[in-house]
């Protein structure tokens, strides 16, 4: 019988009482939990202690490294070209990964974008792309490497071998009220990104009503913590703090967000989606050694679209196929003439979720045609009866609850009324090491 080096209760007590957990004890705790020796109740108690007491920078680094060590660590050194990745903390209408990956790849940079699925009001990149007939998220490592080498961009599901400790711990945090602990968020995100093996990483850390972090100060703390973790691990890392008080773009859902992404790749699309795509592309390319890359030109001249089509086709998708259309629609109109002064992101995300665009449980399917199309944004002038938004669903029975979520989510003010959202700065701060 193996004698364990530490006792979980001692580790829990140390953190509960506000002390620092020694490095070897913290590494053991993560490993023993992954092996099943430390039980779920014990790890839940430890997670709550972290939630209440926090962790030092060194403890977060050790925790992250221990989670990386629980699985495989990839390397793209054999590709012969730089790699850059982006991670978003999630929001409403956040489809930026779709145009961003092929845009960055235009400049000879491999983009290994390991993405996830949506849960609750924030959409998942893989759910959006699975709207495209034939497209598949699951790639072998060999397929991923070949696509990175030959085409440049890959958007796919992370393999089960990357940071299995994180997968186990995240599921526990989700049911124990400890998801919001910044040390645990940071180590969760960064363990997977560092294990993935990218050379450069740009973090899109969102704040506001539709974001995971509502408060900008907590979003800033999370961003700084993750930038430190990346830097300490030898990954060139920066972060942008971006506003998620208003939905991003004019679409919320899956298939409709793919359509909007293609518009951006064709040189059009909503101004805010283009702005954030370009800002993140510049960050990624600067970290990959190309600070002067003309990303706007790549959107205008078709290079980004060509990379998108190649990426989709390489993963079995048909870039020319028709995307799913909803069976039912419901148009919401302006109650009076005036100016749209507010569109609160969170209720729009909840409404899209209720329409079928999201899932309440990890095993639930999504309805790819479901969601919301916006026809106006804050600051736009409308006349009474003008369409403001259209609800999309496969079952009209879903409309009442979606409309209930939207009851006080948007406003039309008197002509000339000021809008708090109209002149908002989308990219609020840039955070570096």
Reference 243, options 125, 378, 374; nearest CA is 378
> For residues 216 and 59, what is the distance between their CA atoms, to the nearest angstrom?
24
Instruction: Read off the pLDDT of each residue in 215-232 and give the average, rounded to a whole number.
Output: 96
| pLDDT > 90? residue 362 | no
The residue extents of the domains of the chain are 8-54, 77-321, 328-413
pLDDT band of residue 119 (cuts 50, 70, 90) is low
Model pLDDT, residue 418:
60
Residues with catalytic annotation?
A: 87, 166, 173, 188, 192
What is the tens place of the pLDDT at every residue in 250-294? 999 999 999 999 999 999 999 999 999 999 999 999 999 999 999
Give me the pLDDT at residue 222, please. 96
| Of residues 48 and 424, more confidently modeled | 48
Kindly indicate whether the domain formed by 77-321 is annotated with CATH number 3.40.50.410. Answer: no
Residue 120 — very low, low, confident or very high, per pLDDT cuts 50/70/90? low
Indicate if the pLDDT at residue 423 is higher than 60. Answer: no
- Mean pLDDT over all residues of the chain? 93
pLDDT in tens, 328-354: 999 999 999 999 999 999 999 999 999
The domain 8-54: what is its CATH number?
A: 1.20.970.10
Token pair for 183 = 């040390």
Q: Can you give the pLDDT at residue 417? A: 65
Please report the pLDDT score of residue 286 as a whole number: 97
The three-point CA angle 202-205-207 to 5° equals 160
In tens, the pLDDT along 133-143 reads 999 999 999 99
Give CATH for domain 328-413: 3.90.1170.30
Beta-bridge mates of residue 425? none
CA–CA dist 98, 251 (Å, integer): 14
> What is d(CA 267, CA 296) in angstroms, rounded to the nearest whole number?
8
**Residue found under tokens 């363990």:** 191
Residue keyed to tokens 């830097």: 231
Q: What is the pLDDT of residue 181?
A: 92
Structure-token match 């002064």, residue found: 341
């Amino acid at each position: 019988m193996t004698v364990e080096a530490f006792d979980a209760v001692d580790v829990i007590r140390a953190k509960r009482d506000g002390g620092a957990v020694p490095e070897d004890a913290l590494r053991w705790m993560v490993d023993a939990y992954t092996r099943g020796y430390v039980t779920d109740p014990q790890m839940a108690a430890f997670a709550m202690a972290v939630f209440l007491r926090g962790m030092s920078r060194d403890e977060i680094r050790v925790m992250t490294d221990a989670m990386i060590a629980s699985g495989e660590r990839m390397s793209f050194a054999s590709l012969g070209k730089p790699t850059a990745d982006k991670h978003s903390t999630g929001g409403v209408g956040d489809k930026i990964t779709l145009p961003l990956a092929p845009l960055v790849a235009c400049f000879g940079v491999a983009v290994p974008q390991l993405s996830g699925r949506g849960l609750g009001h924030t959409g998942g990149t893989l759910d959006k792309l699975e709207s495209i007939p034939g497209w598949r998220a699951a790639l072998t490592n060999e397929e991923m490497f070949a696509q990175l080498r030959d085409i440049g961009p890959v958007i796919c599901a992370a393999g089960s071998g990357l940071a299995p400790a994180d997968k186990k711990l995240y599921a526990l945090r989700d049911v124990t009220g400890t998801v919001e602990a910044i040390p645990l968020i940071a180590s969760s995100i960064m363990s997977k990104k560092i294990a993935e093996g990218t050379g450069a990483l740009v973090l899109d850390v969102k704040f506001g009503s539709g974001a995971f972090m509502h408060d900008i100060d907590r979003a800033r703390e999370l961003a700084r913590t993750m930038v430190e973790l990346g830097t300490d691990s030898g990954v060139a890392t920066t972060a942008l703090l971006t506003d998620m008080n208003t939905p991003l773009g004019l679409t919320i859902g899956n298939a409709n967000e793919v359509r909007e992404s293609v518009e951006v790749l064709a040189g059009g699309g909503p101004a805010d989606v283009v702005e954030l795509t370009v800002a993140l592309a510049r960050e990624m390319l600067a970290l990959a050694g190309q600070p002067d890359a003309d990303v706007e030109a790549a959107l205008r001249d078709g290079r980004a679209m060509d990379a998108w089509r190649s990426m989709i086709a390489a993963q079995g998708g048909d870039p020319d196929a028709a995307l799913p259309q909803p069976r039912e629609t419901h148009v919401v109109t302006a109650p009076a003439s005036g100016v749209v002064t507010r569109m609160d992101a969170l209720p729009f995300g909840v409404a899209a979720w209720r329409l079928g665009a999201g899932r309440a449980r990890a095993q639930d399917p999504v309805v790819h045609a479901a969601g919301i199309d916006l026809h106006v944004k804050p600051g736009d002038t409308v006349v009474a009866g003008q369409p403001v938004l259209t609800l999309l669903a496969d079952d009209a029975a879903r409309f009442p609850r979606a409309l209930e979520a939207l009851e006080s989510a948007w406003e039309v003010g008197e002509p000339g009324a000021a809008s708090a959202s109209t002149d908002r700065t989308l990219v609020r701060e840039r955070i570096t090491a």
